[in-house]
């Protein structure tokens, strides 16, 4: 009985998927992925083959009047098609089942109609009837260079009986060979080195090479954009409209999987999970292809702040926006355009959106190459978009003619027609396609030095073949380039004059503060009064040396008019790339300070300079390095208030959060209205993934080890040590201004706080721990407290709560902005004990936290239980007590029933007030 239901469900589910596809809700893979049917491969095969013979099946349904005469088909033409396919063309219907009864009952009339079609088309078997493919295009197979080489894949096919043909020397001959390939013949592509060409209709969907991501089934035209963009290894790339991900994985393949690809795709509401979302398909394809250099971001590209620190190094942008799809030719792995003409209104809407996306791509400060592509044949979506945008940016960018041996160019009548690339079934044996390449012009730079760090976005030396020669340009380009060189040179001189006056070692943060005020009104409206803790600190103060030094509560201090002289210190500068200092002992990451490192003017030099800080605090050593002087030596002055910090466990987000929180309390305590300050790292740690967040929160930082001249600070705050932070006192019922800090942190990252609890559709986020190299003492990157059965747990929860949104979050390759975007929209956070659970600080009100412990880790580590208490979150925990559930490399198996029970309990607590 179970098999019968399963088989009936297969046909019903296949019909539902077909409806979704014809309603343009996604591709085959996207729609199958959304289905609850478990055997995805079986469902994919049935849907694909039904689409392949769609026209034949539709004809039979109409001529036999199956829908009119059989109520069990519910007047569903798609259901009739899938049943007909399996009954007459495929492997035969499963048995038993009520749907089979319909087919058997009508067998005579169905067979008679298929016999008529066989005679009409002159074929002997139903499987030989014409498919819905309007053009017999070759089957293109792209080799995934992340996992293998082209030669290895060729050898694999040859071993299986395929014959490799030689590639002709001219494209006309190549086309002829491709159109006449015999079964089991293939050859390399004429233009693209990583592409193989097979006979039309060759079905590789069951091939092991396809299933394990060694090769990708991708039309040749769709492979063109990545080859034309051609980002090098280590590049920083943006894929603006990435899902389902073939172009993203192709770029990663060409980059050797080295670098960063920010892959964006749009949902209804950025960062709010849509459970059956295109981004899930993207993530799955990237994992299947072995892509590790991407950062998938579930948000609208038009909302990306291109001038943020995160994207400051982006140089290559792929723009492949939504389009009419008018160039797509039906294939087993893509849906046929239904031949319905796209309305002019629809084309106008598409043109506007495409132009907006392409225009936004030009706003990345360092971008030097942008490739625009569509699978449309409409000029409104192609030449007209590019010409419109080119007019706005032609002073800085040109339209580059690429692939000069390509046979088809843009439609005539446009300014740059000969530089565009078009593809079509007749000219190139591909789907209809359009590609344009925008390239930053190479500007002549005036001789003379420029301030380091100055914006040089107008200057680029990159070119397809290296340094471009002037005589390689046409007359139009030469004239444009001369004019633009003059204009650019003038702008560069203006920048030099404007920025030359900046002499301090610290960055000017006024602009970033003004931007923060515009985007985050919460910062401009904060009027925080000191609570009991801050009041107690204020009362417990001691001033010495004419009030040049004031200590508070033996936790922190403020120094007015202090000189920092780095000649009285020893140790590395810090800031090195982590790869260069692997296995470095931790003691080498701290400066040794001698008396005179800090100097303050003091009229009574013989007076008592002692002030007691708490035992074990590095401020004790700072105090020993503080020296009174009667006269200050020559120095550079820093007007802006500065907070000095020594960081411990600098790569750990929890311990760094205590430092951020402490620095925030200093801004409150000393009434710094701007909520910005210079940060001075008095340590020698190498680069860390959290360093840039100091800039986001406070405006900028500098490493003390890199200061070469004495610096005079008008106001220098010695920050509270992280281990002495109120956040580190887990037994406290509350800590000062934790909600205000939360709002400050979110506002500085431009993350809005709008989530409200909806018990009918909860957002449940699993936060999984992954191995990664965070600091030099762990060169293998092996970390503890990892779940062994992540996918099993996610699937079990999805099955238990099909209406809720289940998200899997892995933070190692996500920016803090993106992490916060997910967490701020999460109702229940589930994860193993680890620093990542610090994000619970930013959960919405009325949220819940589930913390999991392995057997070898004590639940007395109550960091996140304390955060839940301070935030008034629902909290529950579980610890494994079974040795059999612990596995090598610190993996713990967590029974799905445990998670289900924990979720049931915490949901009951969270939602009870709304049910009562």
CA distance 893 to 788: 5
Residue 242, marked binder: yes
Residue 361, marked binder: no
Q: What is the DSSP string of 770-801?
A: -----STT-TT---S-EES-HHHHHHHHHHH-
Tokens at 283, concatenated: 């993530």
Residue 908, marked binder: no
Bridge partners of residue 807, in order along the sequence: 765
H or E segment and range at residue 294: strand 294-298
Are the C-beta atoms of 362 and 393 separated by less than 8 Å?
Answer: yes
Tokens at 284, concatenated: 């799955």
CA distance 818 to 816: 5
Using DSSP bridges, classify how beta strands 294-298 and 259-265 pair: parallel, antiparallel or unpaired: parallel
- Determine the straight-line distance between the first and last CA of the chain, rounded to whole angstroms: 42
Residue 203, marked binder: no
Residue 747, marked binder: no
Using DSSP bridges, classify how beta strands 874-879 and 805-809 pair: parallel, antiparallel or unpaired: unpaired
> How buried is 819 (Cβ within 10 angstroms: 0-12 exposed, 13-18 middle, 19+ buried)?
buried
CA distance 494 to 488: 10
CA distance 327 to 423: 9
CA distance 455 to 458: 8
H or E segment and range at residue 369: strand 369-374
Residue 536, marked binder: no
CA distance 711 to 568: 13
Q: Is 336 strand, coil or helix?
A: coil
From the list 389, 419, 378, the residue with the least C-alpha distance to 228 is 419
From the list 813, 811, 858, the residue with the least C-alpha distance to 839 is 811
Query: Positive or negative, the Cα torsion across 135, 136, 137, 141?
Result: positive
Are the C-beta atoms of 273 and 763 separated by less than 8 Å?
Answer: yes
Q: Is 547 strand, coil or helix?
A: coil
CA distance 823 to 833: 17
Residue 244, marked binder: yes
From the list 262, 261, 263, 294, the residue with the least C-alpha distance to 278 is 263
Q: How far is CA 696 from the centre of its chain?
A: 19
Residue 245, marked binder: yes
Active-site residue list: 375
Tokens at 736, concatenated: 């000062």
Quick one: three-class SS letters along 36-95?
CCCCHHHHHHHHHHHHHCHHHHHHHHHHHCHHHHCHHHCCCHHHHHHHHHHHHHCCCCCC
Q: How far is CA 393 from the centre of its chain?
A: 27
Are the C-beta atoms of 718 and 548 separated by less than 8 Å?
Answer: no
- The CA-atom distances, in angstroms, between 423 and each of 49, 91, 377, 406, 431 are 26, 37, 9, 9, 7
Q: How many CB atoms lie within 10 A of CB 233?
A: 11
Are the C-beta atoms of 53 and 134 separated by less than 8 Å?
Answer: no
Residue 170, marked binder: no
* Those residues with Cβ within 8 angstroms of residue 903's Cβ, 6 or more apart along the chain or in another chain: 764, 797, 800, 801, 828, 830, 850
Q: How many CB atoms lie within 10 A of CB 361?
A: 24
Residue positions counted in the chain = 916
Tokens at 511, concatenated: 């602009």
Q: Is 186 strand, coil or helix?
A: strand
CA distance 690 to 696: 10
Known binding residues for S-adenosyl-L-methionine: 241-247, 300, 320
Known binding residues: 241-247, 300, 320
């Amino acid at each position: 009985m179970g098999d019968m239901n399963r088989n009936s469900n297969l046909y019903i589910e296949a019909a539902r998927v077909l409806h979704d596809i014809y309603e343009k809700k996604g591709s085959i893979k996207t729609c199958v992925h959304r289905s609850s049917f478990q055997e995805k491969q079986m469902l994919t095969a049935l849907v694909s083959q039904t689409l392949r013979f769609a026209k034949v099946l539709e004809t039979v349904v109409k001529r036999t009047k199956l829908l009119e005469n059989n109520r069990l088909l519910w007047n569903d033409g798609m259901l009739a098609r899938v049943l007909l396919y399996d009954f007459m063309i495929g492997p035969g219907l499963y048995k038993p089942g009520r749907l089979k009864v319909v087919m058997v009952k009508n067998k005579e009339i169905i067979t008679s109609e298929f016999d008529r079609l066989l005679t009409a088309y002159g074929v002997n078997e139903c499987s030989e009837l014409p498919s819905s493919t309007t053009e017999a295009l070759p089957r293109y197979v792209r080799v995934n260079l992340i996992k293998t080489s082209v030669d290895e894949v060729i050898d694999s096919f040859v071993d299986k009986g395929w014959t490799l043909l030689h590639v002709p020397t001219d494209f006309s001959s190549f086309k002829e060979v491709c159109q006449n390939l015999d079964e089991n013949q293939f050859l390399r592509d004429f233009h693209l080195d990583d592409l193989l060409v097979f006979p039309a209709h060759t079905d590789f969907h069951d091939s092991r090479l396809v299933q394990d991501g060694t090769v990708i089934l991708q039309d040749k035209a769709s492979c063109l954009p990545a080859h034309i963009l051609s980002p090098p290894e280590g590049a920083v790339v943006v894929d603006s409209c990435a899902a389902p991900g073939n172009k993203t994985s192709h770029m990663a393949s060409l980059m050797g999987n080295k670098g960063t690809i920010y892959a964006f795709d749009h949902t209804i509401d950025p960062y709010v999970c849509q459970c059956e979302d295109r981004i899930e398909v993207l993530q799955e394809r990237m994992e299947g292809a072995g892509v590790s250099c991407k950062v998938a971001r579930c948000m609208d590209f038009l909302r990306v702040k291109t001038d943020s620190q995160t994207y400051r190094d982006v140089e290559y942008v792929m723009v492949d926006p939504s389009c009419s799809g008018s160039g797509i030719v039906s294939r087993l792995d893509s849906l046929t355009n239904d031949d319905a003409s796209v309305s002019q209104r629809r084309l106008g809407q598409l043109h506007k959106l495409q132009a907006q996306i392409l225009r936004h791509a030009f706003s990345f400060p360092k971008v030097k190459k942008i490739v625009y592509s569509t699978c449309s044949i409409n000029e409104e979506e192609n030449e007209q978009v590019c010409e419109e945008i080119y007019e706005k940016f032609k002073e800085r960018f040109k339209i580059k003619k690429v692939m000069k041996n390509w046979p088809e160019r843009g439609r005539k009548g446009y300014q740059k027609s000969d530089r565009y690339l078009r593809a079509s079934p007749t000219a190139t044996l591909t789907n209809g396609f359009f590609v344009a390449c925008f390239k930053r012009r190479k500007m002549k730079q005036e001789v003379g030095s420029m301030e380091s760090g100055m914006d040089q976005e107008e200057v680029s030396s990159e070119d397809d073949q290296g340094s471009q020669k002037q005589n390689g340009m046409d007359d139009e380009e030469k004239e444009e380039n001369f004019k633009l060189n003059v204009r650019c040179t003038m702008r560069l001189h203006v920048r030099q004059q404007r920025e030359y006056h900046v002499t301090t070692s610290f960055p000017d943060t006024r602009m970033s503060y003004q931007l923060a005020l515009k985007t985050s009104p919460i910062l401009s409206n904060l009027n925080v009064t000191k609570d009991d803790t801050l009041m107690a600190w204020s009362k417990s103060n001691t001033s010495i040396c004419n009030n040049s030094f004031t200590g508070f509560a033996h936790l922190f201090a403020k120094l007015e008019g202090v000189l920092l002289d780095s000649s009285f210190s020893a140790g590395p500068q810090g800031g090195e790339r982590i790869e260069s200092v692997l296995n470095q002992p931790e003691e080498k990451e701290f400066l040794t300070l001698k008396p005179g490192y800090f100097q303050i003017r003091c009229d009574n030099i013989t007076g008592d300079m002692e002030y007691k800080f708490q035992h074990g605090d590095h401020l004790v050593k700072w105090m020993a390095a503080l020296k009174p002087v009667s006269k200050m030596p020559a120095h550079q002055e820093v007007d802006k208030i500065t907070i000095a910090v020594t960081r411990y466990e600098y790569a750990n987000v929890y311990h760094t959060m205590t430092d951020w929180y402490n620095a925030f309390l200093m801004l409150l305590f000393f009434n710094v209205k701007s909520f910005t300050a210079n940060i001075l790292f008095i340590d020698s740690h190498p680069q860390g993934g959290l360093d840039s967040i100091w800039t986001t929160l406070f405006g900028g930082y500098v490493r003390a080890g890199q200061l070469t001249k004495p610096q005079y600070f008008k106001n220098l705050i010695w920050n509270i040590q992280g281990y002495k932070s109120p956040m580190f006192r887990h037994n406290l019922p509350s800590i000062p201004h934790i909600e205000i800090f939360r709002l400050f942190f979110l506002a500085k990252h431009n993350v809005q706080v709008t989530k409200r609890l909806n018990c009918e559709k909860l957002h449940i986020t699993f936060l999984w721990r992954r191995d990664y190299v965070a600091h030099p003492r762990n060169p293998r990157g092996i970390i503890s407290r990892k779940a062994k059965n992540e996918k099993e747990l996610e699937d079990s929860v999805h099955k238990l709560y099909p209406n809720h949104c289940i998200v899997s979050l892995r933070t190692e390759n996500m920016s803090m902005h993106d992490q916060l975007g997910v967490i701020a929209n999460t109702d229940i956070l589930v994860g193993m004990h680890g620093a990542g659970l610090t994000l619970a600080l930013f959960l919405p009100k009325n949220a819940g936290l589930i913390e999991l412990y392995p057997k070898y880790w004590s639940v007395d580590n109550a960091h996140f239980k304390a955060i839940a208490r301070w935030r008034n979150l629902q909290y529950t925990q579980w610890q494994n007590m079974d040795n059999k559930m612990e596995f090598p490399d610190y993996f713990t198996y967590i029974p799905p029933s445990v998670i289900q029970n924990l979720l049931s309990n915490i949901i009951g607590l969270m939602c009870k007030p709304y049910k009562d």
